C-alpha cells in the first residue's frame, strides 16, 4: 500500500520550482514523515470556475494507469484555493536530458528512435475517457510551440491528431536540438509553420478554420512554398523525413495516426528491448533513395531514349524542353535552398537554450500548507 494515501497538506515540504506549464506549476517536494522526494503539481483554482475539468480528467485517468513506464500519482490534496497532485519524482524531463546528453541538444539516431517509439505509445496530456461525450473542447491546449495549426486557427473539434502534430514537433527537435516552430503568439506560430510546410490552399483553410464561411473567402495568408524537411533538418534520415512529413500535415485528417506511425519503416530496425516490443528484420530501404539536390538531374536521364525513338528534330525539341524544365527546377531548387538556409540561420540565431534549473534545495523551504 502506498504511504501517501492518508496524508494531509502540511505533511509535505515544498522545495524548488521545477517547471511551469499551461495549467500548473510543478515543485520538487519531500514527504516529512518518510523523507520521500515527490513532485508537487500545483493547480491554482479560479474562485468562480472551481476545479478545472482538465485536472479532473487527469486525476481520474492517472488513478487507473499503473505501469512502470508511467509516472505514478500518489495522492491528491484539494483545498479551497489549490489543487495539488502528488506525483512520483523523476530526475529530469526530455528537455533536460537533451541539454545534458545531446550534441548541442541533438540526440543520436538510436536514442531518438527509442524515445519517439515510447512517445507514440501514449501521451495523456489531452487524454479523455472515450465514454464521456464532449461537444467542444478548449482552443488553449498544448504548449504554443507544439500546438497544431487547427488549434491555432481556433478549432474546438479536435481529436488525437493534435497530439500527433506535437509528436512531430518533438521528433524534429530531438533530431536537430532546436524547436522547429518558435512563435511568440498564435498568429506568429502559424506563420512559422507555413514558412516551413507551406501555405495551405483555400480548400484546406476552409476545412480547418472554424471562422471560414462558405459564403466568403477565408482569411488571407502570405503564400510560402513548402521546404523539404531534409533541408531544414539536415541530420534527419530519409525515413525520418518521411515520417515527419506524415506527422506534420496541416490538414488534421491527413495526419498519420500513432498506430500507423509505429508501423512506419523508420521503426522497422527497432530491435532493442528498450521498446518493450522488439521487432525483427532489417531496416527497409529509404523511401527516397536520392538526395534532393539530385532531383533536378532526372529529366536529362530520359533524353537519350527519346532520341532513339523520334526523329532528330523531335528529339531536339524534347531535349530543349527537358533542359528548360531542368533549368526551371534548378532555379526553384536554388530559391528553396536559399529560403531553407535563411530559415535555419534564423532558427539558430533566435534560439536561446534555457539555462539548467537550480538543482539545490530552495533557501527558504516552506511547509507545504494550504491555508486559505
Q: Please report the pLDDT score of residue 178 as a whole number.
A: 93
- Classified by CATH at the fold level, domain 94-275 comes out as Transferase(Phosphotransferase); domain 1 (1.10.510)
Hey, which CATH number is domain 9-91, 3.30.930.10, 3.30.200.20, 3.40.50.720, 1.10.3720.10? 3.30.200.20
Mean pLDDT score across all residues of the chain: 72
Q: Name the packing angle between helices 161-176 and 238-247 (round to 10°).
A: 150
Looking at residue 48, the DSSP 8-state letter turns out to be T
Task: For the chain, give every domain's residue range.
Answer: 9-91, 94-275, 303-350
Strands 73-78 and 12-20: what pairing?
Answer: unpaired
Give which of 188, 187, 190, 170 is closest to 179, Cα–Cα.
170
Q: Element (H or E) spanning 275, and its range? A: none
Q: What is the mean pLDDT of residues 94-109?
A: 90
- 199 falls in which pLDDT band (50, 70, 90)? very high
Q: Please report the pLDDT score of residue 194 as a whole number.
A: 96
Three cell numbers at 349? Answer: 540565431
Are domains 9-91 and 94-275 of this chain identical in fold?
no
Query: Angle CA(44)–CA(37)–CA(58) in degrees, nearest 5?
Result: 40
pLDDT in tens, 324-349: 667 766 776 676 666 666 666 666 55
- 214 falls in which pLDDT band (50, 70, 90)? low
pLDDT in tens, 245-263: 999 999 999 999 998 999 9
| Other Cβ atoms within 10 Å of 316 Cβ, number | 12
- What residues have CB less than 8 Å from 69, skipping those under 6 apart? 118, 276
Q: What is the mean pLDDT of residues 131-139?
A: 39
Encode burial over 36-66: b for 16+ CB neighbours within 10 A, e otherwise: bebbbbbbebeeeeeebebbebbeeebeeee
Between the two ends of the chain, the Cα-to-Cα distance in Å is: 31
Q: Please report the pLDDT score of residue 319 as a whole number.
A: 63
Q: Please report the pLDDT score of residue 20 as a whole number.
A: 82
Top pLDDT among 209 and 163 is at 163
Q: What is the mean pLDDT of residues 281-294?
A: 30
In this model, does residue 109 exceed pLDDT 90?
yes
- 212 falls in which pLDDT band (50, 70, 90)? low
63 annotated as a binding-site residue = no
> Do 133 and 227 form a contact (C-beta atoms < 8 A)?
no
- 37 falls in which pLDDT band (50, 70, 90)? very high
Amino acid at each position: 500500500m502506498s504511504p501517501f494515501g492518508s496524508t494531509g497538506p502540511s505533511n509535505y515540504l515544498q522545495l524548488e520550482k521545477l517547471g511551469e506549464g499551461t495549467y500548473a506549476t510543478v515543485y520538487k517536494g519531500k514527504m516529512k514523515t518518510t523523507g520521500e522526494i515527490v513532485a508537487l503539481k500545483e493547480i491554482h483554482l479560479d474562485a468562480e470556475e472551481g476545479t478545472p475539468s482538465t485536472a479532473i480528467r487527469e486525476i481520474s485517468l492517472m488513478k487507473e494507469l499503473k505501469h512502470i513506464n508511467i509516472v505514478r500519482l500518489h495522492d491528491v490534496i484539494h483545498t479551497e484555493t489549490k489543487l495539488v497532485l502528488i506525483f512520483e519524482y523523476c530526475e529530469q524531463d526530455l528537455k533536460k536530458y537533451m541539454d545534458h546528453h545531446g550534441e548541442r541538444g541533438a540526440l543520436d539516431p538510436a536514442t531518438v528512435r527509442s524515445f519517439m517509439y515510447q512517445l507514440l505509445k501514449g501521451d495523456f496530456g489531452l487524454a479523455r475517457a472515450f465514454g464521456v461525450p464532449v461537444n467542444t473542447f478548449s482552443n488553449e491546449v498544448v504548449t504554443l510551440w507544439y500546438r497544431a495549426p487547427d488549434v491555432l486557427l481556433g478549432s474546438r473539434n479536435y481529436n488525437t491528431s493534435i497530439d500527433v502534430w506535437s509528436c512531430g514537433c518533438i521528433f524534429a527537435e530531438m533530431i536537430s536540438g532546436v524547436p522547429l516552430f518558435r512563435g511568440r503568439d498564435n498568429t506568429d506560430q502559424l506563420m512559422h509553420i507555413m514558412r516551413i510546410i507551406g501555405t495551405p490552399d483555400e480548400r484546406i483553410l476552409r476545412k480547418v478554420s472554424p471562422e471560414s464561411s462558405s459564403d466568403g473567402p477565408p482569411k488571407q495568408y502570405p503564400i510560402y512554398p513548402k521546404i523539404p524537411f531534409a533541408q531544414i533538418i539536415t541530420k534527419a534520415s530519409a525515413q525520418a523525413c518521411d515520417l515527419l512529413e506524415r506527422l506534420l500535415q496541416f490538414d488534421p485528417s491527413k495526419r498519420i495516426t500513432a498506430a500507423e506511425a509505429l508501423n512506419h519503416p523508420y521503426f522497422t530496425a527497432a530491435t532493442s528491448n528498450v521498446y518493450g516490443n522488439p521487432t525483427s528484420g532489417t531496416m527497409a530501404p529509404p523511401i527516397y533513395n536520392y538526395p534532393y539536390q539530385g532531383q533536378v538531374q532526372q529529366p536529362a536521364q530520359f533524353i537519350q531514349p527519346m532520341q532513339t525513338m523520334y526523329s532528330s528534330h523531335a528529339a531536339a525539341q524534347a531535349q530543349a524542353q527537358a533542359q528548360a524544365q531542368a533549368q526551371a527546377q534548378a532555379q526553384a531548387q536554388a530559391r528553396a535552398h536559399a529560403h531553407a538556409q535563411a530559415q535555419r540561420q534564423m532558427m539558430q540565431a533566435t534560439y536561446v537554450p534555457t539555462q539548467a534549473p537550480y538543482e539545490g534545495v530552495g533557501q527558504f523551504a516552506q511547509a507545504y500548507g494550504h491555508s486559505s
